[in-house]
């Protein structure tokens, strides 16, 4: 668990992070969103003490983050940034091995961990391990950056716009990979993004920052249904709100009994995908299939329209 209590950072007379308090439950993803300059990166960097707070406390599993020297603290917390920050003169394997080597892991354990992570990120260890960062595509470098951040099995992973530079298709893939890896390792992730869509998709909770202040901290559905301020409402984009609400839930939650004609949609697809397919194909209902291909029922325009309405 991460507890941030009355955290403030001042530069000269300006509080760029202003008395922020929030708690992040273990094994969840918290997304920090806000406009440029709202203090997101500064807030994130006070967790691993790349920035020292002016006042306030950060506790990690109940322990003040000042209990350890900063460099030791940072070995225990994963950190991934936009542009990946890979060491250009070290191979991919050496990059990933950085923190385990600092921690004194033996060679066999390091090599097993590097192979495990490369495989997990769908990079063949024999092919990619010996390459240098410039021999990879941007998307591959990004995956190595996240693999490096996870190398020493941290409980906490901080990510600063990790997908900012990726094209939309690779970005969607990277987001899915991250969620799968987060579930597998149970990592607590704090992710800075300026993209509300990404925050809604990835965050169990979303922290909205405006001019250094935390203006709302809530689950995505709550933020969509009840934005705390006009600023939050603007960030959501009101025209998109019903579709974002539908994107939070799977088709399986909206299945109705009965049959429908035509190609089926998987129960794991989002309700937004189902509505898009219904509108595009001009149908009133789609059959829904389970992972084993079994017919589970149908999803209808009428049912989804109800679900897209503002929650009571
Ligand atoms: N070392 C510093 N000295 C003085 N001012 C700083 C320093 N670091 C950050 N700031 C200021 O603090 C404010 C918040 O910066 P921060 O990087 O946290 O914002 P951000 O929300 O992450 O923005 P972006 O989305 O553009 O990265 C900005 O106005 C920035 O200019």
pLDDT digits (tens, 9 = 90+) for 19-64: 999 999 999 999 999 988 999 999 999 999 999 999 999 999 999 9
Same domain for 127 and 217?
Answer: yes
Q: How far is the CA of 15 from the centre of ligand 1 (A)?
A: 10
Domain boundary among 207, 236, 265: 236
Q: Which residue is closest in CA terms to ligand 1's atom 28?
A: 37
Same domain for 140 and 283?
Answer: no
Same domain for 232 and 265?
Answer: no
Same domain for 107 and 146?
Answer: yes
149-161 mean pLDDT: 92
Q: Dig out the tokens for 100 from the structure.
A: 């385990």
Same domain for 38 and 171?
Answer: yes
How much is the pLDDT for 121?
A: 85
Pick the atom of ligand 1 nearest to 34's CA. 21
- What is the number of structural domains in the chain? 2
- For residue 84, pLDDT over 70 is answered with no
132-140 mean pLDDT: 90
300-307 mean pLDDT: 93
Provide the 8-state DSSP code for 209: E
Domain boundary among 236, 254, 275: 236
Same domain for 263 and 183?
Answer: no
Same domain for 16 and 57?
Answer: yes
- For residue 302, pLDDT over 90 is answered with yes
CA distance 63 to 300: 50
How much is the pLDDT for 293?
A: 87
Q: Which residue is closest in CA terms to ligand 1's atom 6?
A: 11
Same domain for 225 and 249?
Answer: no
Q: How far is the CA of 249 from the centre of ligand 1 (A)?
A: 35
Q: How far is the CA of 263 from the centre of ligand 1 (A)?
A: 50
Name the region of 263 (left: φ>0; alpha: ψ -120 to 50; beta: rest).
Answer: beta
Same domain for 207 and 271?
Answer: no
Same domain for 123 and 261?
Answer: no
Q: Phi/psi of residue 310, each to 5°?
A: -55, 125
pLDDT tens digits for 88-102?
999 999 999 999 999
Of 33, 42, 191, 198, the one to substitute when testing ligand 1's pocket (max ligand atoms within 8 A of C-beta) is 42
Q: How far is the CA of 11 from the centre of ligand 1 (A)?
A: 9
End-to-end CA distance of the chain: 31
How much is the pLDDT for 223?
A: 92
Provide the 8-state DSSP code for 35: S
CA distance 178 to 171: 10
Of 35, 38, 190, 208, the one to substitute when testing ligand 1's pocket (max ligand atoms within 8 A of C-beta) is 38
Q: Which residues contact 205 (CB under 8 A, 6 or more apart)?
A: 24, 28, 29, 30, 31, 217, 218, 219, 220
Q: How far is the CA of 46 from the centre of ligand 1 (A)?
A: 12
The order of strands in the sheet holding 265-266 is 265-266, 285-289, 295-300
Which CATH number is 293's domain given?
A: 3.90.1280.20
Same domain for 148 and 49?
Answer: yes
Q: Helix 138-150 to helix 168-185 angle, to the nearest 10 degrees?
A: 20
Pick the atom of ligand 1 nearest to 42's CA. 18
CA distance 266 to 55: 50
Q: How far is the CA of 129 from the centre of ligand 1 (A)?
A: 35
Q: Which residue is closest in CA terms to ligand 1's atom 24?
A: 36
Domain boundary among 236, 259, 276: 236
How much is the pLDDT for 301?
A: 94
Which CATH number is 35's domain given?
A: 3.40.50.300
Evaluate whether 171 touches 11 at the Cβ level (below 8 Å): no
pLDDT tens digits for 180-235?
889 888 999 999 998 888 999 899 999 999 999 999 999 998 999 899 999 998 88
How much is the pLDDT for 193?
A: 93
Residues with CB under 6 A from ligand 1: 11, 16, 34, 36-42, 194
Q: How far is the CA of 101 from the centre of ligand 1 (A)?
A: 32
Domain of residue 146: give its range: 2-236
Of 7, 31, 35, 40, the one to substitute when testing ligand 1's pocket (max ligand atoms within 8 A of C-beta) is 40
Same domain for 139 and 209?
Answer: yes
How much is the pLDDT for 237?
A: 82
What percent of the chain is modeled with pLDDT above 90?
68
Q: How far is the CA of 53 from the centre of ligand 1 (A)?
A: 13
Q: How far is the CA of 133 from the centre of ligand 1 (A)?
A: 28
How much is the pLDDT for 270?
A: 92
Burial 234-272 (b: 16+ CB within 10 A, else e): ebbeeeebbbbbbbbeebbebbeeeebeeebbbbebbbb
């Amino acid at each position: 668990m991460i507890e941030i209590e009355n955290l403030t950072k001042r530069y000269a007379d300006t509080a760029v992070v202003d008395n922020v308090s929030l708690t992040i439950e273990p094994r969840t993803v918290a997304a920090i969103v806000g406009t440029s300059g709202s203090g997101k990166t500064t807030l994130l960097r006070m967790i691993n003490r790349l920035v020292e707070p002016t006042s306030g406390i950060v506790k990690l599993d109940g322990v003040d983050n000042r209990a350890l020297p900063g460099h030791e603290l940072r070995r225990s917390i994963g950190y991934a940034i936009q542009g990946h920050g890979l060491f250009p003169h070290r191979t991919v394997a050496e990059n990933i091995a950085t923190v385990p080597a600092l921690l004194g892991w033996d060679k066999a354990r390091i090599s097993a961990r590097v192979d495990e992570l490369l495989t997990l990120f769908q990079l063949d260890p024999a092919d990619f391990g010996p390459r240098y960062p410039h021999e990879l595509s941007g998307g591959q470098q990004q995956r190595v950056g996240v693999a490096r951040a996870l190398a020493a099995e941290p409980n906490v992973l901080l990510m600063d716009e990790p997908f900012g530079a990726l094209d939309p298709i690779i970005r969607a893939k990277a987001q899915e990979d991250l969620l799968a890896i987060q579930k597998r390792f149970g990592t607590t992730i704090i992710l800075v993004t300026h993209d509300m869509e990404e925050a809604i998709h990835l965050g169990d909770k979303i922290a909205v920052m405006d001019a250094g202040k935390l203006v709302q901290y809530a689950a995505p559905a709550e933020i969509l249904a009840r934005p705390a301020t006009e600023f939050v409402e603007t960030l959501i984009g009101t025209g998109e709100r019903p579709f974002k609400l539908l994107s939070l839930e799977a088709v399986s939650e909206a299945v109705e009994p009965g049959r429908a004609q035509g190609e089926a949609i998987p129960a794991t697809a989002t309700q937004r995908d189902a509505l898009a397919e219904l509108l595009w194909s001009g149908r009133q209902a789609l059959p829904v299939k389970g992972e084993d291909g079994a017919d589970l029922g149908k999803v209808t325009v009428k049912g989804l329209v109800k679900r897209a309405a503002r929650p009571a």
